[in-house]
């Protein structure tokens, strides 16, 4: 676990590596997304901190999605959770009570897989993943194997694909950093988040580990997911025909959701009560970062 201030400071330290954007000078405020519906025709929704916290649906979120649909609003979930195939992530949302369809979900996993560089013949990607990931959704020309089950891949893999920290620890980070120092290879990060809000607090996510490795080794890494443009372009393609100023990114973080949405030229809504800033006054963080949301609402 990690606390909000440590996570925020780390995000701030990475600003030069994040997209640039312009922001409004002030934010509208409201209780929930229903206060924003006059301004937007479509919502791109973060999952953690907006729809769920860990494996628990946020109170009222299911009802709010139903209200938005009844009002004719389009919905897309854009998640940095890279541990799930599309089938698995839909099953999770349905289990929590949401009715999203396959074409309403975009994951950083899929964006990363669609952009995997080609390795030399015979080389494989070593995946840092959750237990049981079968990689059945990997593009046909790429081979991915589980690093936890085949640790020799530290030395033999053609590149590394970072999906999850579920089975990762400091010893693993040290080993990977040493392997990349000895033999630099591509590092693809399919979840750029530094932290994720779960029932008991904030957990460390692949983005945090990846930046640590970059600092140690000086290697380059490719990040896919919010706040980077590939993820937003994929989500926005599902909303073709709706003007960007009528689309809002809804999320719980300034440096991924709000920054990424602003860089994509769409509206932004920060939800404060369930994610990174749960229990905190968000105003000082906005002032320090200069990342001003278009709207600030307490809950979904």
Tokens standing for residue 44: 């791109």
Distance CA 300, CA 31 (A): 8
With beta carbons less than 8 A apart as the criterion, state whether 275 and 252 touch.
yes
Question: In whole angstroms, how far apart are CA 175 and each of 74, 130, 168, 179?
Answer: 45, 18, 11, 6
With beta carbons less than 8 A apart as the criterion, state whether 197 and 48 touch.
yes
Q: What is the CA radius of gyration of the chain?
A: 19
Question: In whole angstroms, how far apart are CA 245 and each of 86, 117, 196?
Answer: 28, 33, 28
pLDDT score for 1: 74
pLDDT tens series, the chain, 300 aa: 789 999 999 999 999 999 999 999 999 999 999 999 999 999 999 999 999 998 999 999 999 999 999 999 999 999 999 998 989 999 999 999 999 999 999 999 999 999 999 999 999 999 999 999 989 999 988 999 999 999 999 999 999 999 999 999 999 999 999 999 999 999 999 999 999 999 989 999 999 999 999 999 999 999 999 999 999 999 999 999 999 999 999 999 999 999 999 999 999 999 999 999 999 999 999 999 999 999 999 999
With beta carbons less than 8 A apart as the criterion, state whether 224 and 108 touch.
yes
Please name the residue that has the structure tokens 């945090």: 208
With beta carbons less than 8 A apart as the criterion, state whether 234 and 112 touch.
no
The neighbour count for residue 177, using CB atoms within 10 Å, is 18
pLDDT score for 249: 99
Nearest to 175 by CA among 202, 153, 196, 198: 153
Domains of the chain, CATH where assigned: 22-110+229-297 (3.40.50.1000), 119-223 (3.40.50.1000)
Residue 179: alpha-carbon gap to chain centroid: 26
Query: What contacts 242, CB < 8 A, 6 or more positions away?
Result: 41, 42, 74
Residue 282: alpha-carbon gap to chain centroid: 20
């Amino acid at each position: 676990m990690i606390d909000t201030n440590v996570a925020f400071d780390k995000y701030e330290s990475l600003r030069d590596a994040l997209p640039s954007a312009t922001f409004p000078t002030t934010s509208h405020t409201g209780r929930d997304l229903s206060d924003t519906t006059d301004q937007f025709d479509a919502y791109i929704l973060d999952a953690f901190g907006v729809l769920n916290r860990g494996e628990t649906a946020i109170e009222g979120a299911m009802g709010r999605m139903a209200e938005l649909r009844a009002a004719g609003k389009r919905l897309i979930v854009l998640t940095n959770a890279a541990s799930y195939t599309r089938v698995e992530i839909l099953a999770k949302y349905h289990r929590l009570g949401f009715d999203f369809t396959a074409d309403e979900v975009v994951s950083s996993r899929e964006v990363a897989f669609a952009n995997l560089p080609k390795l030399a013949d015979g080389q494989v990607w070593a995946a840092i993943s959750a237990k049981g990931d079968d990689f059945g959704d990997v593009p046909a020309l790429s081979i991915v194997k589980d690093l936890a089950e085949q640790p020799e891949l530290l030395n033999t893999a053609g590149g590394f694909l970072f999906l999850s920290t579920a089975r990762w620890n400091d010893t693993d980070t040290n080993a990977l950093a040493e392997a990349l120092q000895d033999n630099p290879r591509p590092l693809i990060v399919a979840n750029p988040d530094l932290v994720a809000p779960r029932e008991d607090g904030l957990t460390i996510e692949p983005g945090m580990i990846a930046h640590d490795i970059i600092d140690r080794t000086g290697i380059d890494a490719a990040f896919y997911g919010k706040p980077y443009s590939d993820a937003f372009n994929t989500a926005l393609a599902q909303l073709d025909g709706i003007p960007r100023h009528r689309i809002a990114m809804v999320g719980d973080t300034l440096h991924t959701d709000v920054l990424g949405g602003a860089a994509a030229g769409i509206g932004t809504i920060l939800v404060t009560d369930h994610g990174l800033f749960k229990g905190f006054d968000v105003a000082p963080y906005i002032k320090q970062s200069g990342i001003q949301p278009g709207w600030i609402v307490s809950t979904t």
